[in-house]
Chains A and B, each alone.
Chain A
Amino acid sequence: MGTADVEAVWRIESARIVAALTRFTGDFGLAEDAAQEAVAEALVSWPLASPANPAGWLMATARRRAIDAIRRRTALQDRYALLATDPAVDEDIDPDRIDDDVLALMFVSCHPVLSPEARVALTLRVVGGLSSEEIARAFLVPVPTVQARITRAKKTIAAAGVPFELPPAGERRGRLGGVLSVLYVIFTEGSTATSGDRLLRPDVAYEAIRLARTLAALQPDEPEVHGLLALCELTAARFPARTGPDGSPILLADQDRRRWDFSAVRRGLAALAKASARGLGPYGLQAAIAAAHASAPSVEATDWDRIVVLYEALGRVAPSPVVELNRAVAVAMASGPAQALAIVDELIALDRLPGSHLVPTVRGELLARLGRRPEARAELELAARLCANQRERSVLLRKAAALG
């Protein structure tokens, strides 16, 4: 077995191993360290001799490393005595309990005591099974930065005494929202890269979708989990049509809809149906908007009135200037650019999105549709100056130039 085989087994097993070991030792940081030691050993020994049961090997080795670590801690003699008498190595995973333990692991790695960056790194590492190198590549940061974030996060969790358990009923919904927002941050990094020269990073988006599927399987009664999964699937369905052969972005209006991934659309609609059974939250509403696009044969044939209504609902449950801006775009399609411009001008008057390239981008488009070309050009040039993604910037400059 080679490195890729070790990584494949680790991908499948990491969350279960770290979860089971955290349950077993009561120490998340120790469990994570022990699991990482086991992978490091596997990378050395599996190429020489493949174990008959790779998953069991990883679990047993991680457990031995955890016991070694506890042995070194003199203050924990009683726990050591308990571990030393426990003979079950391969029977660690209690099938009735492991699902809750994996869920508890997600709650720990997305815990509010951690910084947003630490939550992302820790979730990808312990729940997603990614290496520090893979996480660094995903977020375009140096490997030592990722390692430092993870080390700091483990210390923070220990210092704060974060318990390894499902949050109590009263906090459950709010904490679940925290987990969802971590997955959403990972997804958006893949669907609109905040930096770099590529618009889409499907491999990053994939990690979020995979984690959202896991969460949906573990929390099937939570509508917003299905809402987030639906949003991710429906957004990712458009990836194949969103960039040209040279990597430049293609706007919705110009996309070849035959290139959309229709099996992803189907999965997204199925997830949305589960979400909408009990009323839509912010993710479900965004998914419903994505579904309206995904079900339309063209921009003209899109149900823009429905999209306006959905944005209004989204603005009520999760008010934000970005939602207002998107509502303006939908209003422009449903009722014309003049009404939309009023919404955008109000956002500017209240300075709700300072420094964002999105406001002048939309304003420029609306002015162009109203025939106010010099003003439109100035707005698009402003947008290009504010935009950090090189691909988007060149599209904006092209549009500005076309306005003469």
Chain B
Amino acid sequence: MTTASTLTGKSTEDAPVVRTDRSKLIGGIAQAVIGLYGLWAFGLGSRTSHNAHTLFNLKLDPASSGPSPISAPAEPVAIALASIAIVCGLVRAFAPISAKVQRWLAVGYFASFVLAFLVWAAAGSGIGLNVPSIIQQTSIAAVPLILGSLSALLCERSGVVNIAVEGQFLFGAFAAVITASMTHSVWAGLVAGCLGGALMCALLAVFANRYLIEQVVLGVVLNLLASGVTGFLYDRLMSTDGATYNSPPSFNSIAIPGLSKIPVIGEALFNQNILFYAAYLLVPLVWFLLFRTRWGLRTRAVGEHPTAADTVGIKVVGLRYRNVITAGLLSGLGGVWLTLGLASQFGKDMSDGKGYIAIAALIVGRWSPIGSLGAAVLFGFATELNLALSSLGTPIPTAFLSMAPYLVTIFVVAALGGLARPPAASGKPYLKG
């Protein structure tokens, strides 16, 4: 452990971002200008005028008893929030502050700008925004993205590119449903789903390490393979005899005593099934394993500089095999979540691009577990916002709202201004000598 702790340092975990004053200045001014636009569009526009109010519901079930909705006067609140955003931008541009403060400032900027947007978008609607529901659905939508990005993270940190997360989701989902349906046990389905994901990852590991195939191409082929195989088996088994092969039991919600009684967030976050909790607990676990243990140090060494790792006696290829197959358990769990945890049925191509978004979350999160979690939640939030606003009669076209998650990606990468640097040896097969 001594070598581990001395070498753990900050160097690979989070390379210190060297910012020039120029990028700070330009970034800050750009933020202030966008904030100014927000002030004009959200605060001073016609939608928030005429004493319009924005309704925030605080109960998940609107019919149940509990705190009554908050009705905020739209115009002053939107103006205040947009002003905060402008101030954040100006402070970033002109005040002498450290990188850490800058990061918090960016969070503050983003939060106030989005809130100003929400107040504007929902102004005058009798339905309003259901805050617990938005929190709940955001956290649910983030789960597959978290599991997928953790899986891709483990692979990339060990030097193997895994863009086959989509295929692992599908295969895991299929294996989980067919096993759970036939055994009537969610636990058997859970095990089978994880193993299904691991099997797909084992294919990735063999082709990438043993046969040195270009890993991005390989990932695409594996995704097609998973879609084809599960689609074919779906037609032959589930579609013809759904009662036997596609009627699995599903995981029940477990309300956590105490926590689930917290107003607003309690029922939204602490009355979920065990897979939900597992996904969120895996984030700190993976972080700890990766940055505080001997295994984690070796993994990162293999992903950054495999020759050096080999020189000190680490079995590079062996470790890559182990890590990639372990990562398959995580993406397989993502497939289990999509079926036994959520929709309780398998359908053709049901992962529907979530595997790719998970990889985007990994990149936006700069190859760190915590960052990936943040990105996954952000994507989930953008998706949910699109849905929650689409029924309120906002003047924004639906097609534009659907773009939101991807706009947010660009926005965040720009605002947090990180150096997106993948592990150095990622995607490069290791050859001795």
Check if A and B associate.
no
Interface residues, chain B, with chain A CB atoms under 8 Å away = none
